[in-house]
Every structure is written in C-alpha cells, then in structure tokens.
Amino acid sequence: MESIFSDLTEEELNWKAEIDDYLKNNLGPYIDDIEQGKMDIWDVIRPMGKNGLIGISFPKRFGGLGGSYMQELLFSEQVCYYSLAVDMSRLSSTYPSTLIRTFGKTRPLKHYISPIVKGEKIGCFCFTEPEAGSDLSRMKTFAKYDAANEQYIINGEKRFIVNGSVADILIVYARNGGFIVQSDWDGFEVIEEYNLMGLHGLHLGHMKFNDVRVPKENALFYKEIKEEPGEKRLGKTAAIAGLQNFLGPERAILSAQALGVAKRALEIAIQYTQERVQFKRPISEFEGISFKIAEMVTYYEAGKALVERSVKNIEDGHFAAMAKLFACQAANKICDDALQCLGGIGYTNKYPVERCLRDVRLLRIGGGTDEIMKYVIQKGIYRKIEKQQTISDMPKSTFFSAADESQEKED
C-alpha cells in the first residue's frame, strides 16, 4: 500500500523506498521479541541513530540527516506499520534536542543534542503530572532559583512519560520554566514503570524530582513567579505558554502514526477476507464483510486527506487537532473492524491485528485526548465566526493548548 501522503517528489519516493527496505530488515524481524519482552525496544532504536534515523531533520553535524519534516512524517508512518511503540520511543527521545534548538539554546547545550540524535543517550519529555493531565495549568512542579550557586532547584512529580524510566536526558516542564535535567543527578528518582494494555516494550515512567539542582544554563526558559500555596498556585504558567509552537507538528505526526498502524491492519484484513472460505465462498463475497472493508478504506482515505491538510497548514494547529481527532478515531475503528474480519484468529497473536488494536488505542489519549481535541476545534471555530473568517482561513493565533483553554475557563 502507498504512503498516506500524495504528490511526493522523486526524492521523497526514493527516501521512502530506502526506509521501507531498512525497516523490513532491521525492525520487522524483531517486533515479536520486543512484544514478548525478549528484547529491549532500544536495541532496535539505537542502530537507527547510527544511520541518522533517530533525528532525521537534525543537521548532519549533530548525527541527523538534515532531512525535511515530510521525511520525518514518512519515517514515522512506516515505522508504525511495524510498531507504534518503537516510533513513540524514538520520537519522544528526540524532544529534549528539538526543544533546545526551538528555544535557541544550541550553543550552551549542544553537548546534549548529538548523543540523543545518535542514539547513544535516551531522552524524554515530561509534562504530565498526577494532578495535571489534560489541564496542565494544575502543574505543581516548581523551580526555585538559587542565586548564590547559579542553579535552579526542581521539586515535583511526572507520570506517563515515554522513556521516563530509562532516560538519560529529560526535558522537564515546571510551572515557571523548562529545564534540561540529567537522570544521574542527585534527587532524581524513578517511582515506577507502568504495565500497559498495548505498546509492549515501551518504557512508561513515573518519576520524582527531589531538590534536583540544575545549572543555570540548562534552563530553556524561566519566569520568576511566587510559589504560592493552595489553589492560587494554579496560575497560567510559563510552561504552558512555551507549548504553542510544538503541539501542531507533534499532533500531525501522531495522526500519521495512527494511519501507519491502521494501514497494516487494513492490508491484513483485505488479504485475509479474500482467502478465508466459509459457506463455500471467500468471506469477501459476503456484504457483511465487504462493506466493512469499504468503510475501513473510506475512513483511511478521509484520515489521509485531513492529515495532508494539517501538514500543508502546519502553522495552524487547528487543522492538526482535527487530523489527530479524526485519524486516531479512524485508526481505532479500522483496527477493530480488521479484527472482526479475521474472526477468532484475529483475537490470537498469529496476526499482528490484535496488537495494532491495543497499541493504537493510546492515540485517542496521548498527545491530548479526543475530548480535548474537540474542545480546541470548537473554540477555534467560534473565534473564527467572531472574526467573520472562512473555515479554511483560520489564523495561526487561534490555536491554544488544552491547558490554555481550561485556564481561560478558570480565569
């Protein structure tokens, strides 16, 4: 099956053929071992780093390929054809390096970028806390500046963090800043690694920061605010403000990941229904099955169109929220219908469809839930109507994070 992206250039098509070949040989054969806990997920990701495939869009001097955002999307889509867990772990690892560059801190913090991009070190991205999920304005993690030692002292807790329990380099968001933190510093503690419904092999961590001292230069941004007790501390934070440019591109990638998983399940269902004979006919000849395939393909194509639209309007996070909402729901439906088409064998692990279904379910939660995507979308629509703009003419500034939205409600 072709990529979800149309109108690819010759260069992009060649790149796709190259990565298809790489992943077929270097990822496909190991998925079952990762799933069954016989192999660590990073044993397949680390070698990608040696080939510039962890941070594709990073310049070559950092160990990347100097590639485009489209190359990143194509790679994510294709890795997810094999394993969403692998791509989530790979991509989440790059976020500290990405944000160092986004915040213009390459010069003082460049020593962190290459080891992550080359796969020598593992990174992670810490936003979510026990009390702050969809509503990041409830974040408690706080950084206190110690002027005498030119250090920040971080206290707080983070949970549901991809790579969190195995990471070397963390980007930690506090109410008043974003910081690059090393896991080998005093005061960092892994509380737990979660067992998951799907995404087996992925290291999802719950961690604690007990007076972790961070050198001044490791702050990506910092805003001095009072550490007030009680509910008053739930103010609009610098952390939330720093999110805006990051979420749109991230959500477009999550949408491409969802369709990458769906593509695998769809392909299997189409082939299986043509081969499986019941009542003297291939089951594809029964409308109960063939109409399911028709719906699955339609959802897949509609998802593709929305993801392409979001990528073409990547500065406008409103489209990325729509793409994430629809593509992730579509992918869930496709994987569930694919399992139904396979009957009993679909419920076993003889085919990867049951794994696709368990894995892809996460994407309706992670990176912003379905409900929060709807909140972001409707808010954008009403704002647009207020400004009397057309639906396709959504201004960049209408995209707010879920946290901003919920904070607006509180204010």
Which C-beta is closer to ligand FAD: that of 77 or that of 129? 129
Cα→Cα distances 140→157, 173, 410, Å: 8, 10, 17
Which C-beta is closer to ligand FAD: that of 246 or that of 286? 246
CB of 202 to ligand FAD, least distance (A): 7
Which C-beta is closer to ligand FAD: that of 398 or that of 406? 406
CB of 243 to ligand FAD, least distance (A): 11
Which C-beta is closer to ligand FAD: that of 133 or that of 242? 133
SS3 166: coil
From 313, 339, 198, select the one nearest 248 (Cα to Cα).
Answer: 313
**Which string of b and e fits 303-327 if b means at least 16 CB within 10 Å?**
bbebbbbbbebeebbbbbbbbbbbb
Residue type, 99: L
Which C-beta is closer to ligand FAD: that of 118 or that of 379? 379
Which C-beta is closer to ligand FAD: that of 199 or that of 320? 199
Q: What is the dihedral of CA 334, 335, 336, 337, to 10 degrees?
A: 50
User: Which positions lie near ligand FAD, rule CB under 6 A?
Assistant: 92, 125-128, 133-134, 160-162, 199, 204, 362, 365-369, 371-372, 375, 406
> Would you tell me how many other CB atoms lie within 10 Å of the CB of residue 109?
20
Residue type, 230: G
SS3 40: coil
Residue type, 134: S
**Could you write out the DSSP letters of every residue in 320-345?**
HHHHHHHHHHHHHHHHHHHHHHHGGG
Which C-beta is closer to ligand FAD: that of 119 or that of 133? 133
Output the residue with the shortest Cβ distance to ligand FAD: 133
CB of 326 to ligand FAD, least distance (A): 16
**Could you write out the DSSP letters of every residue in 252-292?**
HHHHHHHHHHHHHHHHHHHHHHHH-EETTEEGGGSHHHHHH
CB of 134 to ligand FAD, least distance (A): 3
